[in-house]
Amino acid sequence: MVTFINGNGKDYNMICKLCLKEKPLIKAHIIPDFLYKNLGLYEADSKGQGRIHVARIQNNRFYYNPKGISDGEYDQNILCSNCDNVVLQAYEDYAKKVLFDGNYKLPEFQHEYIKDSSLGCEYGLFKNVDYTKFKLFLLSIFWRASISARVFSGEVKFGEKINEGIRKMLFDKDPKDPEDFCTILYFLNEPDITLKLMTNFKKIENNNSTRYAFIAGGMIFKFFLNKNDIPENHKPFIFSKSGELKIFNMPKDKIRLTLNDFFEEKLF
């Protein structure tokens, strides 16, 4: 293992956590920046420095900093330039097109809004979504949080064995089966609140089931590490190999409850 000396004279080893090669590491975002830049959460201040607004939990209280923080949440100890800017960036570029650009950039892609009386709910249905790219995009976010030592990702820690399993999936472009390490997306259609929110990662335990979540881009992303934790009524919303992505449209009255639950505080 090579030890490099940085500008502060401090020793550090530069092993990229994705390719496992010794390389200089770069500032890698944990939550992809398009999830807030696209929504106007990222604005330049008077000095031209980009700011984003992050809702944080401190001492169990919801804390929203209207001035924002600089340039997102990143970790400079996890990824080399190639793994961040080429390998993972390819998944992010694709996901950005699916979630925000629609068929303007993806001609094969279709989107419709479904009111499903049998499930008793409404959802956005995206068809012909590339299973490998989109699944690995979602997985890469929670993996980055798990391998990062940043406070921001604090409640997402899967352990070395699982981190290594997910690393192989990302590196080998192997998305496995839909229920394996799945992320379900829920649209929080309360723009006055949710479009201003990006949160840190949170571990949520209820009804003997564990999931990991964050809110960004007007959505709550819920990740299930163990497939036995996926509630039956969430299973229709698991991203399928046929490329059908369903984003559950959370009913208005449930959104505020969800936010209060998320922050464990009666905020709204």
Contact footprint for Zn ion (CB under 5 A) = 16, 18-19, 80, 83
| Shortest separation between residue 111's beta carbon and Zn ion, angstroms | 34
| Shortest separation between residue 142's beta carbon and Zn ion, angstroms | 18
In angstroms, rounded to a whole number, what is the distance separating the alpha carbons of residues 117 and 89? 38
HSE, side-chain direction, 13 A CA sphere, residue 162: 17
| Shortest separation between residue 87's beta carbon and Zn ion, angstroms | 7
**Residue 32 vs 218, nearer CB to Zn ion:** 32
In angstroms, rounded to a whole number, what is the distance separating the alpha carbons of residues 79 and 88? 10
Point out the residue whose Cβ comes nearest to Zn ion.
Answer: 16
**Residue 18 vs 220, nearer CB to Zn ion:** 18
Q: Where are the alpha helices (DSSP H) in 55-126?
A: 81-82, 89-96
| Shortest separation between residue 221's beta carbon and Zn ion, angstroms | 24
Using CA atoms, how far residue 181 sits from 25, 54, 227, in Å, is 27, 26, 7
In angstroms, rounded to a whole number, what is the distance separating the alpha carbons of residues 234 and 236? 6
**Residue 83 vs 138, nearer CB to Zn ion:** 83
Q: Which residues contact 85 (CB under 8 A, 6 or more apart)?
A: 26
| Shortest separation between residue 36's beta carbon and Zn ion, angstroms | 25
In angstroms, rounded to a whole number, what is the distance separating the alpha carbons of residues 104 and 245? 18
**Residue 86 vs 114, nearer CB to Zn ion:** 86
| Shortest separation between residue 25's beta carbon and Zn ion, angstroms | 8
**Residue 80 vs 136, nearer CB to Zn ion:** 80
Q: Which residues contact 91 (CB under 8 A, 6 or more apart)?
A: 133, 134, 136, 137, 140
Q: Which residue type, as a one-letter code, is found at position 169?
A: M
**Residue 167 vs 211, nearer CB to Zn ion:** 167
